[in-house]
Structure 1
Amino acid sequence: MHCTDFQYNQFTHLFKKLNIKFVPAEARAGLLTAEETAKLKKLHEENKQLLRIPRRPQWDESTSPEVLQQKERDSFLEWRRELALLEEEQKMILTPFERNLDFWRQLWRVIERSDIVVQIVDARNPLLFRCPDLECYVKEVSRDKVNLLLVNKADLLTREQRMIWAKFFEKEGLRAVFWSALVENERLEAEEKEESEEEEESEEEESDMENDSQSGEQFKDCIAEGDWQTCSEASEGEEADDEGSVAGSAHGSASFHNSSRLLTKDELLALFKECHDGPTIREGELTVGLVGYPNVGKSSTINTILRNKKVSVSVTPGHTKHFQTLYVEPGLCLCDCPGLVMPSFVATKAEMICSGILPIDQIRDHTAYVCQTIPRNVLEGTYGINIIRPREDEDPDRIPTYEELLMAYGYMRGFMTTHGQPDQSRSARYILKDYVVGKLLYCHPPPHISPADFQPQHSKFQPENVNVEGSTKNGSKQNKVKRHENLVDQNFFHQENVRALTKGVQTFMGYRLGSVGQRDQVDQENPGSNQPEGKPWKKHGNRNKKEKVRRLTKHLDA
């Protein structure tokens, strides 16, 4: 041990001399222990008041553009200097916040000209994408402005999960609504398709006889009534919650109730109009500004509301470059702001990649963050693969390593390198994109709930529970699974020494010299039956075949 410590000190001195940093395997894989995670959370909670967004300096009509721009640069540099000191002194990892002043200027303009500032967050991790200091800055600009949290991609959550988040944000004093741009777009497209089909049918019915047209009208009325009854029966409790939330929001910020229901397009627009009852920036016109991180669904929300592609969308973060205003109807204007990465604390770089903050195609290393959050049975059930099990000397319940997952996925998809090995980098990009899209679903819970208890979607991948009580009354034995084997497999695989794929026939399929091989095993029930001796696979009785061959080829020996 003394020699080992001495050698380690020598190596440490050499590392410092050559400016080499020793990184353990756990840190390289992007994994943190439970103790490190608890320490990071405590440190983040103590320093969360230092996470601020840059403010626009005070200005009025007498301020010249040159003076204002210089003040903005000075204030922005001071803000960046404070965050740099926070990273260096506390050794904490921050999100790659926007360092371009022009993007923050667009955010300032959107906030100043908006009556309602809607902060769009991802439903899988709302606290990471929410910026509390942005809400404070909105109130600093004007007390008449309203903050609203739009939880997008909420279709990935169950109703119980949405209720938990609704109560959490209600305790925080923040209005929160749940929305899914993708689901609402599909619903509207289906309605438009049904309407077009009904119009075609009505035109055909008008050209036919009056009896056919009357029967068609009755059929359409029946369909509409059935849909109304099904909707009311399925979401009776949700409608009550939604009515309470709309009624509470109309009475101001003092009393409101967050509903867990997924809002439709018309309900969302009605909520925008009712939650703001003060003076507006432009008389007779309500402006709604949409802000948030890249790739959270701001442009998709606008396209769903307007029902046509007004804003270009992409999976790659940071696709929108400039803000733009679009009128939904007279008196209601939407303002789309480019995606801005707000300063926030993260544990590792892997968390930013899996959250969609960093582009996946630009990664250079693989991390085991997906293996740490997604259980083994969910990975195997989603992709239909079998990941290598732990060895006998390892923990049987340990999480799979990223090499084991990537090799199994690469073999399944056929992603191979020129050397015949699975292409791990290509497999990693596909798996990470599935995680960002939501195919591999992991939902972060509120602070007071354990992450393991907040994943009801993983229960469908659980293996079927074996009946522990058993079929006997004692309840001490488990039910054994019955296996059906045919006689040939049973005789072959139950041999003491099976020499399959080897040269020779000494013990092949139970054959021994002087026996009849499988036939004497198959007919063990009839020991008195006479069986011809010989090899079972020989179908002829020519015992002098070799002599015959020698006789025929004798002239070639000379």
Structure 2
Amino acid sequence: MPQARRKTPFSGKAKKQQLQTKKNKTSTLLMSTSTGTTAYDVISVNYQPSRAKGGRDTNRYALKFYRETDEELRIKKEDALKELKPVPEKDLEINPSDYFPSDVSFPKRPPWDFNMTPAQLDAQEQRYFKNYIDSLQATEHWKDMSYFELNLETWRQLWRVLEMCDVLLLVVDVRYAGMMFPPSLYTYIVEEQKKHMILVLNKIDLVPPAVVAAWKTYLTAKYPELKVLYFTSCVGYNLRGATSDKAGLQVRRRKGKQRMCAEGATMILDACKDIVQGDVDLSSWEKKIKDETNVEFDYEEDAEVGETILEKADTSFYTHERFKSGVLTIGCVGQPNVGKSSLLNALMGRSVVSVSKTPGHTKHFQTIFLTPQVRLCDCPGLVFPSTVPRPIQILMGSYPIAQLREPYTTIRYLAERLDLPKLLRIDHPEGDDTWSPRDICDGWAKKKGYLTAKAARLDTYRAANSLLRMALDGKICLWLRPTGFLQDKEKLESSEDIKYIKWVQALSPLSQTEEPSSSESGSHSDTDSDSDTDDDHTTIANTFAALATQN
């Protein structure tokens, strides 16, 4: 029997250094300013303390963000004890232009040619990215900049996807659509590269149809070459039971077996047909939707996948050729947790892309052939530079909740816009009439029985973590509206798009043989989504159910 490898001596000093390395997940980044040199902490998310075998860097795709100072933390923790000040509904309207200044763009690949060696390309891109960060730091917006991706390797994956694609599919969470759509990306793709861009408003089951219609109206008016579509992977026929509780908390219970979201898939197919104008044969895609409408596949919400680690910097380059070899290439881009992987799985009609709630789960761009004529490229989720407030970035899922050092600022933002005590059905921990962010967390900890291990006190931090995850999942649902929503609300609720949105949500009992047009008028009654039994969902019609038998 072979003997185990003999243990090598390991001193206490070496062990201490190993633990210190594992604990220390931040590095210092020096930024030159007009007053001298300032040190910023950069936190690496999903950081690994050691290198893989063969000297490969296990942290090549680790998410990196600037980290707040200890003084900022102290001030925020003191603020968590102050009274909540409810925000009027009018203040939930936002102007997206306020968060994407004209002089703030995303890093683009510097010019290159085929005579350059990989080493020259790597050095050029490293130098460019450093200069890009320096130029951002020199702008007047630097002090208001939010978390954004500081890892060059992740931006390189975006560059490759943008080079390869014929059509860029940008996926955003409809709850924060205006804060997830960088105008600089539209300018680069549509105006500079002369390519087409499709914006997918995902998770439309979480917000009222009028809000979805308002975002489409706003975005199409501001960006005329942009095609705006609706999508949700949580259509009625893939859910079971009630969709909300008595207090108003959202509840989405997925069935074990899922069906292709044919409504959203058809919208994307139709948009691509309009773009290719017959230059690519998409009949196989159309047939796939018809054939797989009622085919069920297993849904694995917490599926995991190993990282893709490269042994050297990814400096490969690609010369774009429109519809090369008769294949339509669709690049899929978006911030973390907007549902890109769920959308691709829904398009495929089966689980092909790993889904996770952890930002940065998809490490390397993945190429998947939907049909022999349609290729999908899934880019890692990345955060574009902006001045979006940090609490919103946390609610959007751009920053991992587990990495938060101070969650109470985000709880305040949420509680001042939603009546959390009523939604959570909690009592004030001290019997008072006024609430603070800490009171909200303590009340939730008391209701859920969250106690610290040693002193058995209310575990306030765990409760805050729980509430933020509920907000991320959509159980506690906050959505922001475009400017002028309240003024145009009545008009939007009676618009022609409402019927179309409900059809995509699979909540309208439409004819199984008839697909509504986005310009078609008329009204349809909704099924009762608050039903408490699975049987009530049998009236929800899948508008493509009959297509499978028409071949």
Taking structure 2 as the reference length, the TM-score comes to 0.57
| Deviation by residue 1:447-478 (Cα, 9 ceiling, x = unmatched) | 33469x89x9xxxxxxxxxxxxxxxxxxxxxx
SS of the aligned residue for 2:198 comes to strand
Answering whether residue 423 of structure 2 is matched by residue 382 of structure 1, we say: yes
Distance verdict in 2 for CA 1:81–1:184, change over 3 Å: farther
What pairs with 1:237-276 in structure 2 (closer than 5 Å)?
263-276=263-276
Answering whether residue 343 of structure 2 is matched by residue 313 of structure 1, we say: no
Partners of 2:171 and 2:409 lie apart in 1 by 28
User: Which amino acid is 2:382 matched to?
Assistant: L
What pairs with 1:409-428 in structure 2 (closer than 5 Å)?
409-417=444-452, 418-428=454-464
Identify which range, 149-158 or 93-102, moves more after superposition. Answer: 93-102
What pairs with 1:505-524 in structure 2 (closer than 5 Å)?
none
User: Which amino acid is 1:122 matched to?
Assistant: D
- The question of whether the paired residues in 2 share the 8 Å contact of 1:184 and 1:304 is answered with no
| Deviation by residue 1:159-213 (Cα, 9 ceiling, x = unmatched) | 1111211111121122211101233882799898899xxxxxxxxxxxxxxxxxx
The match for 2:211 is 161
Identify which range, 272-281 or 70-79, moves more after superposition. Answer: 272-281
User: Which amino acid is 1:403 matched to?
Assistant: R
What RMSD, in angstroms, separates the aligned Cα atoms of the two structures? 4.0
The match for 1:443 is 479
User: Which amino acid is 2:230 matched to?
Assistant: F
- The question of whether the paired residues in 1 share the 8 Å contact of 2:238 and 2:258 is answered with no
Answering whether residue 443 of structure 2 is matched by residue 408 of structure 1, we say: yes
User: Which amino acid is 2:404 matched to?
Assistant: I
The match for 1:467 is none
The match for 1:293 is 335
The match for 1:280 is 322
Give, in angstroms, the shift of residue 33 of structure 1: 11
Partners of 1:72 and 1:20 lie apart in 2 by 33
The match for 1:337 is 379
Distance verdict in 2 for CA 1:357–1:33, change over 3 Å: same
Match of 1:84 among 137, 142, 163: 137
SS of the aligned residue for 1:275 comes to helix
Answering whether residue 401 of structure 2 is matched by residue 360 of structure 1, we say: yes
Give the number of the structure with larger relative contact order, counting CA–CA contacts within 8 Å between residues 6 or more apart: 2
Give, in angstroms, the shift of residue 116 of structure 1: 0.5
What pairs with 1:477-492 in structure 2 (closer than 5 Å)?
none
- The question of whether the paired residues in 1 share the 8 Å contact of 2:227 and 2:271 is answered with no
Partners of 1:153 and 1:363 lie apart in 2 by 25
Give, in angstroms, the shift of residue 157 of structure 1: 1.6
Give, in angstroms, the shift of residue 298 of structure 1: 0.9
Match of 1:186 among 238, 246, 271: 238
Give, in angstroms, the shift of residue 297 of structure 1: 0.8
SS of the aligned residue for 1:264 comes to helix
Partners of 1:436 and 1:267 lie apart in 2 by 26
What pairs with 1:132-211 in structure 2 (closer than 5 Å)?
132-139=183-190, 142-143=193-194, 145-172=195-222, 173=224, 174-183=226-235, 186=238
The match for 1:460 is none
Query: Which one has the bigger strand percentage?
Result: 2
Partners of 1:101 and 1:194 lie apart in 2 by 37
The match for 1:430 is 466
Partners of 2:96 and 2:166 lie apart in 1 by 35
Give, in angstroms, the shift of residue 91 of structure 1: 5.5
SS of the aligned residue for 1:150 comes to strand
Distance verdict in 2 for CA 1:401–1:187, change over 3 Å: closer
Distance verdict in 2 for CA 1:339–1:20, change over 3 Å: closer
Give, in angstroms, the shift of residue 21 of structure 1: 5.7
Match of 2:181 among 119, 130, 146: 130
Distance verdict in 2 for CA 1:364–1:450, change over 3 Å: farther
Distance verdict in 2 for CA 1:43–1:113, change over 3 Å: closer
Partners of 2:105 and 2:178 lie apart in 1 by 15
- The question of whether the paired residues in 2 share the 8 Å contact of 1:374 and 1:442 is answered with no
Partners of 2:476 and 2:485 lie apart in 1 by 21
- The question of whether the paired residues in 1 share the 8 Å contact of 2:239 and 2:255 is answered with yes
Distance verdict in 2 for CA 1:390–1:414, change over 3 Å: closer
Distance verdict in 2 for CA 1:117–1:187, change over 3 Å: farther
Give, in angstroms, the shift of residue 324 of structure 1: 1.2
Gaps of 5+ in 1: 1-18, 196-260, 457-558
Answering whether residue 110 of structure 2 is matched by residue 60 of structure 1, we say: no
- The question of whether the paired residues in 2 share the 8 Å contact of 1:154 and 1:262 is answered with no
Identify which range, 77-86 or 124-133, moves more after superposition. Answer: 77-86
Partners of 2:200 and 2:485 lie apart in 1 by 22
Give, in angstroms, the shift of residue 129 of structure 1: 1.1
Partners of 1:411 and 1:27 lie apart in 2 by 21
Partners of 2:439 and 2:376 lie apart in 1 by 47
Distance verdict in 2 for CA 1:433–1:266, change over 3 Å: same
Partners of 2:77 and 2:201 lie apart in 1 by 34
Distance verdict in 2 for CA 1:293–1:185, change over 3 Å: farther
Partners of 1:298 and 1:122 lie apart in 2 by 10
User: Which amino acid is 2:189 matched to?
Assistant: V
| Deviation by residue 1:123-176 (Cα, 9 ceiling, x = unmatched) | 110111111111122236521x10111111111121111121111112112221
Give, in angstroms, the shift of residue 422 of structure 1: 1.1
User: Which amino acid is 2:98 matched to?
Assistant: E
- The question of whether the paired residues in 1 share the 8 Å contact of 2:171 and 2:202 is answered with yes
| Deviation by residue 1:389-420 (Cα, 9 ceiling, x = unmatched) | 996xxxx7x6x211211111111111122334
The match for 1:97 is 148
| Deviation by residue 1:96-121 (Cα, 9 ceiling, x = unmatched) | 22222221111111011101001111
User: Which amino acid is 1:288 matched to?
Assistant: I
What pairs with 1:29-48 in structure 2 (closer than 5 Å)?
29=80, 45=98, 48=101
Taking structure 1 as the reference length, the TM-score comes to 0.57
Aligned identity (percent) is: 29
SS of the aligned residue for 1:117 comes to strand
SS of the aligned residue for 1:321 comes to coil
Partners of 1:437 and 1:177 lie apart in 2 by 22
Partners of 2:423 and 2:262 lie apart in 1 by 26
- The question of whether the paired residues in 2 share the 8 Å contact of 1:177 and 1:263 is answered with no
Partners of 2:259 and 2:76 lie apart in 1 by 57
SS of the aligned residue for 2:214 comes to helix
Partners of 2:352 and 2:130 lie apart in 1 by 35
User: Which amino acid is 1:104 matched to?
Assistant: W
Partners of 1:123 and 1:415 lie apart in 2 by 32
- The question of whether the paired residues in 2 share the 8 Å contact of 1:416 and 1:422 is answered with yes
Partners of 1:148 and 1:59 lie apart in 2 by 28
Partners of 1:364 and 1:118 lie apart in 2 by 34
Q: How many residues align?
A: 359
Give, in angstroms, the shift of residue 333 of structure 1: 0.9
